[in-house]
């Protein structure tokens, strides 16, 4: 029997416009709302990410982060 889907945690999220557009597009394509899409992504994080590519992208993001905050 599948687990009941309950959104039990709510938190304020700050994200870039590009990140939010990506989330909205993914959620729309998947037929989910943004909260459901985030839950799916984090519940299945290891299966929806490529470890090597993730590490590379994270290094690039961190390298640009301070400049992007200005």
Mapped to the 3 state alphabet, what secondary structure does the chain carry?
CCCCCCCCCCCCCCCCHHHHHHHHHHHHHHCCCHHHHHHHHHHCHHHHCCHHHHHHHHHHHHHHHHHHHC
> Tens digits of per-residue pLDDT, 6-62?
777 888 889 999 999 999 999 999 999 999 999 999 999 999 999 889 999 999 999
What is the pTM assigned to this prediction? 0.76
Joined tokens for residue 8: 């039990």
């Amino acid at each position: 029997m599948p687990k009941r889907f309950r959104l039990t945690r709510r938190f304020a999220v700050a994200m870039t416009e590009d990140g939010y557009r990506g989330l909205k597009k993914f959620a729309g394509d998947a037929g989910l709302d943004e909260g459901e899409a985030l839950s799916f992504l984090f519940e299945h994080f290891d299966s929806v990410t490529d470890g090597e590519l993730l590490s590379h992208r994270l290094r690039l993001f961190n390298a640009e982060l301070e400049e992007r905050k200005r």
